[in-house]
Amino acid sequence: MSKTKRAYKYRFYPTDEQKRLLAQTFGCCRFVYNWGLHIRSTAYKGGVKLSYNDLAALLPDLKKQYPWLADVSSVPLQQSLRHLDKGFKNFFERRAKYPTFKKKQHAQSATYAANALKWNGATLTLAKMEAPLNIHWHRPLPKNAQPSSVTITKDCANRYFVSILVEEDMKPLPVVNNMVGLDLGIKSMVALSTGESVGNPRYFAKDEKRLAKAQRRHAKKKKGSKNRNKARLKIARVHARIQDRRRDYQHKLSTRIVHENQVICIESLAVKNMVKNHKLAKAISDVGWSELIRQLEYKSKWYGRTLIKIDRWYPSSKTCHGCKHVVDALTLDIREWVCPACGVVHDRDTNAARNILAEGLSASACGGSGRPVRAKARQATPIEAGNAHS
């Protein structure tokens, strides 16, 4: 068993009083975050790197200058400086872009550490609030869970969510013999090396129609009018629905793949991003390849599975899985092709997924460690890597 931090997210319905306090808290968190970003940016331009502690030490003075900051719990304010610190760390370690200012129009959030919340095993109450949050518990928290922090968000569709971070013991699943390779499909969302294609893009077509309709309506309303604002909210709601359905779909898929297979081979996002092709780039963002990889990564870790990520580009689509012959070109409209060397007929996506499985397995010694393995796949020649991998 391994201990792991796991977030449980629920929708909740604040009272008017809670809404007011949360709005105030979001505003103060945003203010402190933007203030910190400004101070750190100014220092950074002057060649000075400030830390979380440097900024936290300035908070009391900031509160004297802006007394309304004291109307909300001080914990979320400190936490915003922690988020900012993380943003800078990610930037310095080249994982993210330079942090940007937070805007009122975007989703809002505030994080409460354990010292600013009360959890009695059934109800959750935040600092400065009298009543507990009215949470819709669509699934229970694990028994004896102790929340280590809680993040409140309000999305653009004005819905409130609480994400509760708890430490949990994860039991590995029983070992199974299956291994699978996954590729981003052209005609489906994901192609499996078993020949199965999952995720019909048409699943979301209805949502997209609804979104286009909402956008057209919004464009017709007078700027600054009440109706325009209503129409904007409508768009946000459709977006939220699309996002929810997508996320839900990805969770079902990643859970199923991790349950059914001991070893899972995929190409990393970096490899996918080398594809300089608009159609495929859109497919990658539509499918949420990075989110799917993220879920596969942590679920593999939880359940004792091995995830093999192929880090280097190789022609997975253009290589015949049977005889390893590599064809020169394979445009995106080609769904099926015949290997000129051995005559086998390939379904484009399945063949690619099979190659990814083989490449992942050959490039790493597989055990049931559950840790993601970085596969040192065959290095592409500069000429190969320079071509559009399609």
Site residues (vs Zn ion, CB under 5 A): 320, 322-323, 325, 339, 341-342
> What residues have CB less than 8 Å from 98, skipping those under 6 apart?
91
Element (H, E) at 259: helix 226-260
Read off the DSSP letter of residue 312: S
Tokens of 52: 């979380």
Read off the DSSP letter of residue 68: G
- 267 catalytic? Reply is yes
Task: Report the nearest approach of Zn ion to the CB of residue 192 (Å).
Answer: 21
| Dihedral (Cα; 283, 288, 290, 292), 10-degree rounding | -120
- 349 catalytic? Reply is yes
Exposed / middle / buried, residue 109 (Cβ in 10 Å: 0-12, 13-18, 19+): buried
Element (H, E) at 197: strand 197-198
| For Zn ion, the closer CB: 89 or 335 | 335
Task: Report the nearest approach of Zn ion to the CB of residue 289 (Å).
Answer: 27
Task: Report the nearest approach of Zn ion to the CB of residue 345 (Å).
Answer: 10
Task: Report the nearest approach of Zn ion to the CB of residue 324 (Å).
Answer: 7
What is the rounded CA–CA span in Å between residue 135 and residue 122? Answer: 10
Q: Is the dihedral of CA 95, 100, 105, 111 positive or negative?
A: positive
| For Zn ion, the closer CB: 214 or 339 | 339
Among 85, 155, 297, 349, the one annotated catalytic: 349
| For Zn ion, the closer CB: 81 or 339 | 339
> What residues have CB less than 8 Å from 300, skipping those under 6 apart?
258, 264, 306, 307, 370, 372
CB 156 within 8 A of CB 107: yes
CB 149 within 8 A of CB 114: yes
Cα–Cα distances (Å) from 122 to 14, 137, 161, 168, in that order, read 17, 10, 17, 17
Among 85, 168, 267, 297, the one annotated catalytic: 267
Task: Report the nearest approach of Zn ion to the CB of residue 385 (Å).
Answer: 22
- 359 catalytic? Reply is no
What is the rounded CA–CA span in Å between residue 383 and residue 385? Answer: 5
| For Zn ion, the closer CB: 237 or 348 | 348
Tokens of 117: 């919340």
| For Zn ion, the closer CB: 176 or 323 | 323
CA distance from start to end of the chain: 42
Among 183, 311, 333, 336, the one annotated catalytic: 183
Task: Report the nearest approach of Zn ion to the CB of residue 372 (Å).
Answer: 31
Residues with a catalytic annotation lie at 183, 267, 349
